[in-house]
């Protein structure tokens, strides 16, 4: 999909479909009013007859009008002007994209990009236009014989009435398209079944991305033998019950000088989580292929960075394993030694994500990071606490936590901070090891964060629990691509 920003007169644009908005009270935004005047009040007449009222979700497709070059005009309801904020504008873009896809136009021009939106500048507007439309073109095709291709327009022009804002809008379109593509990459990886998307497969995808971006990205994949030499016995213990080898995948994006300290993303990559000996219930266990959505988001972000080429340094790390039951698998009561030399009593083998993450969080200390964010579908308790609306966030640094919260608000990919106070650490006490891998039934998401905090004391760190936001259930089942927008907002603007 190709995006362009224009400040042309919409009356003279040659396009298959020109999209214009109507407010709920029947009033017309600037560019819609210009179209109405050129068409001898054709739009106003339709509004007065009640053919379209301007309510959210409404649309009306018009034939070619005299005085306007566009072959068709698509009128869409924008709701109440005073309520048009970033969320409402994003929803308008998504609904408009679905309508355009229905008609199958080859190209479209969006006069709705000119709508005045509360607290939204031209850059942000462009980001939301491109991101929302890019994510609509995604189709899962890897394991299906027949899939209907997306009929979204391949060329989109976003129109502004103020020519001074065109450059800013164009910048936003580029960023939004890259973020949308990164989300689609993350969705694809999450949706792949566990017999295809293995730790080895994730490593191959990282290598392929590096091969396409040799000047920017360097990738290496540590084998089980290499991890054993480093003392990563916690990570390795998770994959003992599987025939699939575990892997630690490191992607180094170098857009700035070598002396610039990197921001680091660490993704949980459990490509299938049966729970191990602490076996999960059979119902919906197929969804445990999504237990690598943290890893998928890291690959999505690295893809977007390679497209945008920002002058920053970022290291993406994926701690990947398959958690299966067997005679070799971890057992409740087993004790393993982490790379940090802290010993861990495994009370529940289904609390495996923290076991792979803790060694990765120790490994990345060698980079002397500016900040570290780990991303994981870590706990069902986070879904109980926050549902599927916001990601859980914990941090050992107030400023980092505040920044991530604001980035979530700005990117419409929100997170909410939970405490990791010292009082919660007592729940992880063990009679036989330095730390237990679960803290009991109370505050499960928080105690999981407290566990990770014990391995992150030398740098600024935040943990994102995306168990509730990484994928959808039911008829719409599939990966969402979150929190790629949040992570990109943080990296590009902070």
Distances (CA, A) of 54 to 46, 51, 374: 11, 10, 43
Sign of the torsion angle spanned by Cα atoms 185, 460, 260, 219: negative
Other C-beta atoms lying within 10 Å of the C-beta of residue 238: 29
- Residue 12: beta bridge partners? none
Question: For the chain, where do the domains classified as CATH 3.40.220.10 start and end?
Answer: 2-161
Q: Token digits for 80?
A: 């109440």
Distances (CA, A) of 221 to 243, 266, 354, 376: 18, 14, 20, 20
- Residue 8: predicted pLDDT: 86
Helix (H, G, I), strand (E, B) or coil at 18: strand
Asked if residues 401 and 462 have their Cβ atoms less than 8 Å apart, the reply is: yes
CATH 3.40.50.1220 matches 181-493: no
- Residue 147: predicted pLDDT: 83
Q: Which residue numbers are catalytic?
A: 280, 354
Output the CA angle 250-201-249, nearest 5 degrees: 10
**One-character DSSP codes across 105-167:** -SEEEEGGGGS--TT--HHHHHHHHHHHHHHHT----TT-S--PPP---SEEEEE-S-GGGHH
Residue 123: what are its φ and ψ, rounded to 5°? -65, -50
Element (H, E) at 380: helix 380-386
Asked if residues 70 and 13 have their Cβ atoms less than 8 Å apart, the reply is: yes
CA–CA gap between residue 375 and residue 410 (Å, rounded): 19
Sign of the torsion angle spanned by Cα atoms 76, 82, 84, 87: negative
Q: What is the pLDDT along the chain (494 residues), one digit of tens a residue?
A: 999 999 989 999 999 999 999 999 999 999 999 999 999 999 999 999 999 999 999 999 999 999 999 999 999 999 999 999 999 999 999 999 999 999 999 999 999 999 999 989 999 999 999 999 999 999 999 999 988 888 999 999 999 999 999 999 999 999 999 999 999 999 999 999 999 999 999 999 999 999 999 999 999 999 999 999 999 999 999 999 999 999 999 999 999 999 999 999 999 999 999 999 999 999 999 999 999 999 999 999 999 999 999 999 999 999 999 999 999 999 999 999 999 999 999 999 999 999 999 999 999 999 999 999 999 999 999 999 999 999 999 999 999 999 999 999 999 999 999 999 999 999 999 999 999 999 999 999 999 999 999 999 999 999 999 999 999 999 999 999 999 999 999 999 98
Question: For the chain, where do the domains classified as CATH 3.40.630.10 start and end?
Answer: 181-493
Asked if residues 317 and 263 have their Cβ atoms less than 8 Å apart, the reply is: no
- Burial of residue 341 (number of CB atoms within 10 Å: 0-12, 13-18, 19+): exposed
CA–CA gap between residue 437 and residue 447 (Å, rounded): 9
Q: Which CATH number fits domain 2-161: 3.30.499.10, 2.60.40.10, 3.40.220.10, 2.30.29.30?
A: 3.40.220.10
Sign of the torsion angle spanned by Cα atoms 118, 123, 125, 128: negative
- Burial of residue 359 (number of CB atoms within 10 Å: 0-12, 13-18, 19+): buried
Asked if residues 390 and 370 have their Cβ atoms less than 8 Å apart, the reply is: no
Asked if residues 156 and 2 have their Cβ atoms less than 8 Å apart, the reply is: yes
- Burial of residue 291 (number of CB atoms within 10 Å: 0-12, 13-18, 19+): buried
């Amino acid at each position: 999909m190709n995006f362009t920003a224009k400040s042309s007169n919409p009356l003279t644009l040659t396009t298959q479909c020109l999209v214009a908005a109507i407010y709920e009270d029947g009033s017309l935004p600037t560019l819609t009013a210009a179209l109405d005047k050129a068409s001898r009040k054709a739009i106003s007449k339709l509004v007065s007859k009640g053919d379209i009222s301007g309510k959210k979700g409404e649309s009306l497709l018009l034939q070619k009008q005299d005085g306007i070059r566009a072959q068709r005009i698509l009128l869409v309801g924008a709701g109440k002007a005073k309520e048009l904020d970033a969320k409402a504008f994003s929803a308008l873009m998504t609904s408009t994209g679905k309508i355009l896809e229905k008609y199958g136009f080859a190209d479209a021009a969006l006069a709705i990009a000119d709508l005045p939106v509360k607290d939204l500048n031209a850059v942000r507007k462009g980001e939301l236009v491109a991101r929302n439309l890019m994510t609509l073109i995604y189709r899962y095709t890897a394991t299906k014989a027949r899939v209907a291709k997306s009929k979204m327009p391949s060329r989109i022009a976003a129109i502004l009435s103020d020519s001074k804002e065109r450059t800013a809008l164009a910048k936003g379109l580029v960023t939004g398209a890259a973020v949308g593509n990164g989300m689609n990459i993350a969705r694809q990886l999450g949706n792949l079944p566990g017999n295809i998307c293995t730790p080895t497969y994730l490593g191959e995808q990282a290598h392929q991305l590096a091969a396409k971006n040799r000047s920017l990205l360097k990738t290496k994949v540590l084998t089980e033998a290499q991890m054993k030499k480093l003392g990563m016995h916690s990570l390795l213990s998770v994959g003992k019950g599987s025939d699939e080898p575990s892997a630690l995948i490191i992607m180094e994006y170098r857009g700035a000088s070598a002396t610039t300290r990197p921001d680091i993303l660490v993704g949980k990559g459990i490509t299938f989580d049966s729970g191990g000996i602490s076996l999960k219930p059979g119902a919906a266990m197929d969804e445990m292929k999504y237990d690598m959505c943290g890893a998928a988001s890291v690959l999505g972000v690295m893809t977007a960075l390679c497209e945008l080429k920002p002058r920053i340094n970022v290291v993406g790390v994926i701690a990947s394993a398959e958690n299966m039951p067997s005679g070799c698998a971890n057992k409740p009561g087993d004790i393993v030694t982490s790379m940090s030399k802290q010993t861990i009593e495994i009370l529940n083998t289904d609390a495996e994500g923290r076991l792979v993450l803790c060694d990765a969080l120790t490994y990345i200390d060698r980079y002397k990071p500016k900040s570290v964010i780990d991303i994981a579908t870590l706990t069902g308790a986070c879904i109980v606490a926050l549902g599927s609306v916001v990601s859980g966030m914990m941090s050992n640094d107030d400023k980092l936590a505040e920044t991530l919260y604001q980035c979530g608000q700005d990117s419409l990919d929100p997170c909410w901070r939970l405490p990791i106070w010292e009082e919660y650490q007592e729940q992880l006490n063990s009679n036989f090891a330095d730390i237990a891998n679960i803290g009991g039934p109370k505050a499960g998401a928080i105690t999981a964060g407290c566990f990770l905090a014990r391995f992150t004391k030398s740098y600024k760190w935040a943990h994102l629990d995306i168990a509730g936001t990484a994928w959808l259930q039911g008829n719409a089942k599939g990966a969402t691509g979150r929190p790629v927008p949040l992570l990109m907002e943080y990296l590009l603007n902070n």
